[in-house]
Structure 1
Amino acid sequence: MNWRKSTYSGGGEGNTCVEIAEVHPRIAIRDSKAPARATLFVPAGSFTAFVESVKRHPRPGA
């Protein structure tokens, strides 16, 4: 899989974030600090809706 990190990843090595990979028709999600652990798979449409919702409603203080 071709894993990508958010451009907002923090830390010296950018490892304090989640990573995603496209696995049509799903999106794979894993913790960048523990990539060998469990991977979550969600439908691509659901992931897109989640990301759009976060963009519209960012958390206070972010």
Structure 2
Amino acid sequence: MRRKSAYKGRAIRMDKLDSPVTEQLVERLLQAERLAVILSSLKARRTAKAASENKRIMAL
């Protein structure tokens, strides 16, 4: 027995949808420039946190 769904639109099988969705994610999110910005930001945050921790350790 299928349960009722609130969505009344057209259903698309997951196996048909996986590839196009994955391709779009890779194309839009995993661009070299975007990844460089993300990694640079992460490195800056880690450096700042390490400096803060080192300062606290020295104070102790």
TM-score (norm 1): 0.29
Structure (1 or 2) with the larger CA radius of gyration = 2
Q: Which has the higher contact order (CA 8 A, sep 6+)?
A: 1
Q: Between Structure 1 and Structure 2, which shows a larger proportion of strand residues?
A: 1
Q: Between Structure 1 and Structure 2, which shows a larger proportion of helix residues?
A: 2
TM-score (norm 2): 0.30
